[in-house]
Structure 1
């Protein structure tokens, strides 16, 4: 195996690992958002709140649901076989052999890298939305406490 082939193989492994890390982070953030939504709903349904607290909390929960939607979209399976993925399940054994023999690692790396960037961008947007939603929920608590004390 030449040095170029080794470098391509290492780059492919690196991109695949980055996709796996991004998917893991996405799963953890999705679980966190679910826990925050469940906790906020539990507290809000049993606590008398003033209108500004309801508005801030409601908007915060909507933003968190939007973040969950962005996360789900970023891990949605691509069954069309784009981004360098041959759709192995639709190929005959002969086509699989031909595809494997003519595999271009550089093309695979480019396609997977684009996929990784899309996933990473979605994760980043979801983190930003989660921070905004959490801040709105904190604002709702502050408004409820200050409004309740007044």
Structure 2
């Protein structure tokens, strides 16, 4: 029987799973970066417009709600891009752990196949990031809707 988990094989399912999990983490980080840029643009526009605007009661309430929703979206994407590896001891098999080792300890550490554990950890990180990105998108959509409603009320 052939060992399909042998390191160095290009068709190794464990290598493919690890690469897919790492790619998903990177993909969520990219999405979070785009969401943060969009939220910052909206915040900048609001900072330029709101101080000079004469907002009536309902429009002010809607604008305030829109700002809060946008702020919540920004916080969600900042949590996405925040490091999730934890302490070096908890991050065995990662650069954080390797930085605490001597060269000899690193060689010994790398002799152990920790790809399965690393893949599970990366997958959990990717899932958490995915949930936060979804929340940020939902909050941004809600914020945009509230701002649109505020404009309609202001124009009425």
TM-score when normalising by structure 2: 0.85
CA shift digits 1:96-134 (9 cap, x unpaired): 111111022111111110111011111111111111111
- Number of residue pairs matched? 146
Match of 2:155 among 130, 140, 145: 145
Q: Which residue of 1 aligns with 2:4?
A: 3
- Any conservation in 1 of the 2:62–2:147 contact (CA below 8 Å)? yes
Structure 1: 5+ residue runs without aligned partners?
none
Q: Which residue of 2 aligns with 1:69?
A: 75
Q: For CA contacts below 8 A with separation 6 or more, give which structure has more relative contact order.
A: 1
- Any conservation in 2 of the 1:83–1:112 contact (CA below 8 Å)? no
Q: Which residue of 2 aligns with 1:39?
A: 45
Cα offset, 1:85, TM superposition: 4.7
Query: Hey, what's the Cα distance between the residues in 2 that align with 1:128 and 1:41?
Result: 22
Give the 3 Å change call, closer, same or farther, for CA 65–100 of structure 1 in structure 2.
same
Q: Which residue of 2 aligns with 1:107?
A: 117
Q: Which residue of 2 aligns with 1:29?
A: 35
- Any conservation in 1 of the 2:28–2:80 contact (CA below 8 Å)? no
Q: Give the superposed CA RMSD.
A: 1.8
Query: Hey, what's the Cα distance between the residues in 2 that align with 1:139 and 1:85?
Result: 50
- Any conservation in 2 of the 1:66–1:129 contact (CA below 8 Å)? yes
Query: Hey, what's the Cα distance between the residues in 1 that align with 2:150 and 2:51?
Result: 13
TM-score when normalising by structure 1: 0.89
Query: Hey, what's the Cα distance between the residues in 2 that align with 1:129 and 1:51?
Result: 23
